[in-house]
Structure 1
Amino acid sequence: MTPILSPNTQAILLLTAPLIAGGGTASSELLSPGEYKRLARRLREIQHQPADLVSPEADEILRACQPVIDESRMQRLLGRGFLLSQVIERWQARAIWVVSRADAGYPRRLKARLREDAPAVLYGCGDTGFLETGGLAVVGSRHVDDALIDYTVSVGRLAARAGRTLVSGGAKGIDQAAMRGALEGGGKVCGVLADSLEKTAMNREHRNLLLDGQLVLMSPYDPSARFNVGNAMQRNKLIYALADASLVVNSDFNKGGTWTGAVEQLDKLKFVTVFVRSTGESSAGLDALRKKGAIPWPNPQDVDSFADVLNVQVPSPTVSRQVGFSLLDESQSADTTPTTTILGDATPLAKNESEPLTPAETVSDTQPLAAASEGQPSIESGAVASAAETKEPPQPELTPAELVFSAVQAAIENLLSKQMKDAEVAAALDVSNQQAKAWLQRLVEDGKVEKLNRPVRYVAKSQKSLFGDEVHNNRLQRTADRGR
């Protein structure tokens, strides 16, 4: 991620962000997460992207979105270009980065797990690579005794020794103890904040850790936002979504953010294994979480046993669930560098950054991409041959672009069970027309897809027989039309 904001990110900020510069106040007309979700769906339906809302053809697009969001309201929000330029300057001076769901640099773990509920915009400071490393999420109550603080610090130190990222919320009590332990141990820490990102990042102690590459701070809320109970509750799912496993050190029963987040994880989201502290004095909250399916923490004492605890089967950022979040190969990415233009009332914008797919819109989670990425064929039960019988040469390692194509191929062929134009395929996959055409041309060359003319459209070869009569009749009709 760079300090340069993409046109799509600028448009999303205008619609959803308070743009608080210092002591400013938030606009009461901002789109809520639910409203922006509906708007994003509508834009995909009409084959547009957020940046188009401030393009020369914006009036027409805004009218097309009127059934979802009031046109005049969006116009007022999009007219805040000057305020946006001021706040961007403030963020850049403080080394605060901003990324939106429309950017390829958006954390893939969040998109894979939260899908359309992933925050439209994220703010942060520090090495964004930490956001893709997984690790252990440690959460707990704010008000705890010294014994629990010491216990939590030791967990953070063990995570550091094991070379695993520690993810927590930065709140007083358990969160800060876990983060302090990991940092003191020389480990890496990801803090998911509910408020005061700017103030926290400017703290001298934190600043040094940020510069040294030990700490990254992230928040879905404006860098100047103050504490809000609702925000603290909502950010909990981000902590779990960024991790490989989680540990609840302490929790009240049936109240508080720690309880709410853990219950949501156990009952609904189920992103990671939820462990609960199993030594020392228990609590009604921890006992209730165990009854809901939480597992007693096995209290690993060394690096190897700690690694075993975190060795849970969770989606990797490179497996099939992630395909579609950056559907550009390296050559195309080089041609789509965002400009530094600040959006105004009618600033022309490049149309090269469509909002990426959600996992529900991409290929199946069961597709064996992980095996392909390691150059190994998938092995089904009963199909294992002896080493003497399988002397096939090793498969070459696939490039990232080839991995993406191999995954998206199934999705395209599924779409082409009926005839579609390239623009329709692009809209369905939520990618640019140029990208869709490139994939379709490759499938045509590979003999997987047939290209039909007048008008140009595509159909999967496996479906050709189903459309044979229709294609033949269309050709006869065109011949008859030309003879008239």
Structure 2
Amino acid sequence: MMPSLSPNAKAILLITAHLIVGRNSPKSDILTLSEYNRLAQRLREVGCEPADLLAARSAESLQVYRTVVDIERLQRLLGRGFQLSQAVERWQARAIWVISRPDPAYPQRLKARLGSQAPALLFGCGEVGLLDKGGLAVVGSRHIDDDLFDYTMAVGRLVARADRSIISGGAKGIDQAAMRGALEEGGQACGVLADSLEKQAMVREHRNMLLHGQLALVSPYDPNAAFHVGNAMQRNKLIYALADASLVVSSDLDKGGTWAGATEQLDKFKFGPLYVRSTGDVSPGLAALRRKGAWPWPNPDTPEALQETLNASAEEPSQGDLALFAAKMAADISPAPHVSRESAPTSSAIVSHDGAIDAIASEQLANQPEAPAEILFATVRELILRHVSDHSMKDDDVADVLRISSRQAKQWLGRLVDEGHLEKVKKPAGYKLKQRRLIE
């Protein structure tokens, strides 16, 4: 169903959208996302919403927002009613809808995962409900050979048979292969476009799928906007945020949109499991993503296996991992040289390099919470801090010692950095003990 244009969406269009009719139309002095976020916060503070701006166009009535935006600029933007009506008429003739962040139809996944970084507006065509269905994000290079195209088509077909959706960027190569595989199998797909939404919505082969709820095309940019590298990079996070898990089929090393989006997901957002293709020739880019914490794709071959993969939590270690941790604690990790296993006390303290006791860290270890994940991490904390006491270690070194994935090791090391126990160093790259740990 095509959502109607809400009063909030109209107001946000006026102050944040270019409202271009042609690709070469001059750009207006619109609000950036950060500027709009400040205005939205001010609106909430005074008990209003964006639609209220439409009734408060005079300079006097807008003075309450002067601390976050220039009032003359705001007036100019709100006065673009004729341009807005032209743009909306054009979009509606092409079955393109617009939803704003305050609208109920706006994807909850984007608001929950991106917060204020979620686009203020989304332009789209097709069934808007597909955007909150989740599924598997499949991304990769534009230029691929026939083998990778067939591989990606097969992934898309399997996702469709599992009654899940494909989420991708709609670009040539991997993106289109995954979406095509799902759609030809009778499944569903979401294309998160960086440009040319209007053109893609008018493609003949898309029309029936858009009309019958198989396909949704969405973009945070004007439907007639031309391609821009920056826009393509920015939309990557939307692909990952809409998905339950993601699969990188191919990627260059240290360059390109696929690499940028995947590394941003691994290093910053961490919305869900990020997998990389684990069969055939593995490129240096995929190998590097593995070292950064990506998981090898388990190659499910049935719909049930794929469902299990998508439903599995990336946050909790498996029971096998728990057994391995216990085994490593008993066999592989030795206590401090002057303390035997039998005589080691049950409490410990964190001591800084000058010998002063860090009471906060000591209390943190002494009063371990009862949640299973926290109890497990308390053990992991002990093992890792002891092992890196005299030298720096890399993610992969810790992963090898504990027999876990590099991704899990990276998460735990990052938490130890946040807690102040470790520090990340560049030369040599790795993690070092920030406070010397002694057992008394």
| Distance across 2 between alignment mates of 1:237 and 1:270 | 10
Identity %: 65
After superposition, what is the alpha-carbon deviation per residue over 1:200-246, rounded to whole angstroms, capped at 9, x for unaligned?
00111111211122111011111111101001000011101111010
Q: Is the 8 A contact 1:19 1:26 kept in 2?
A: no
**Which residue pairs with 2:376 in the alignment?**
none
Tell whether 2:223 aligns with 1:227: no
- The Cα RMSD (Å) is 1.8
| Distance across 2 between alignment mates of 1:288 and 1:216 | 32
**Which residue pairs with 2:280 in the alignment?**
280
After superposition, what is the alpha-carbon deviation per residue over 1:277-298, rounded to whole angstroms, capped at 9, x for unaligned?
0001111111111111100001
Aligned-partner residue type, residue 162 of structure 2: A
Cα distance 1:211–1:261, how it changes in 2: closer, same or farther (>3 A)?
Answer: same
Measure how far apart 1:273 and its partner are.
0.4
Counting only pairs closer than 5 Å after superposition, residues 202-213 of structure 1 correspond to structure 2 as 202-213=202-213
| Distance across 1 between alignment mates of 2:244 and 2:97 | 25
| Distance across 1 between alignment mates of 2:79 and 2:186 | 46
Q: Is the 8 A contact 1:210 1:216 kept in 2?
A: yes
Tell whether 2:14 aligns with 1:17: no
Aligned-partner residue type, residue 162 of structure 1: A
Measure how far apart 1:60 and its partner are.
3.8
**Which residue pairs with 1:157 in the alignment?**
157
**Which residue pairs with 2:81 in the alignment?**
81
Q: Is the 8 A contact 1:165 1:187 kept in 2?
A: yes
Measure how far apart 1:129 and its partner are.
1.2
Counting only pairs closer than 5 Å after superposition, residues 53-452 of structure 1 correspond to structure 2 as 53-56=53-56, 58-313=58-313
Q: Is the 8 A contact 1:123 1:220 kept in 2?
A: yes
Q: Is the 8 A contact 2:273 2:314 kept in 1?
A: no
1:27 counterpart SS class: coil
Q: Is the 8 A contact 1:125 1:217 kept in 2?
A: yes
Paired positions, count = 317
1:98 counterpart SS class: strand
Aligned-partner residue type, residue 151 of structure 2: Y
Aligned-partner residue type, residue 153 of structure 2: V
Q: Is the 8 A contact 2:139 2:169 kept in 1?
A: yes
| Distance across 1 between alignment mates of 2:51 and 2:42 | 14
| Distance across 1 between alignment mates of 2:47 and 2:168 | 38
Measure how far apart 1:2 and its partner are.
4.4
Any unmatched runs of 5+ in structure 2? 316-370, 373-440
Aligned-partner residue type, residue 312 of structure 1: A
1:59 counterpart SS class: coil
Cα distance 1:243–1:3, how it changes in 2: closer, same or farther (>3 A)?
Answer: closer
What is the TM-score normalised by the length of structure 2? 0.70
| Distance across 2 between alignment mates of 1:287 and 1:60 | 60
Any unmatched runs of 5+ in structure 1? 316-379, 382-484
Measure how far apart 1:22 and its partner are.
4.0
Aligned-partner residue type, residue 137 of structure 2: A
| Distance across 1 between alignment mates of 2:167 and 2:147 | 21
| Distance across 2 between alignment mates of 1:52 and 1:314 | 43
Cα distance 1:19–1:79, how it changes in 2: closer, same or farther (>3 A)?
Answer: same
Q: Is the 8 A contact 2:2 2:95 kept in 1?
A: no
| Distance across 1 between alignment mates of 2:2 and 2:130 | 15
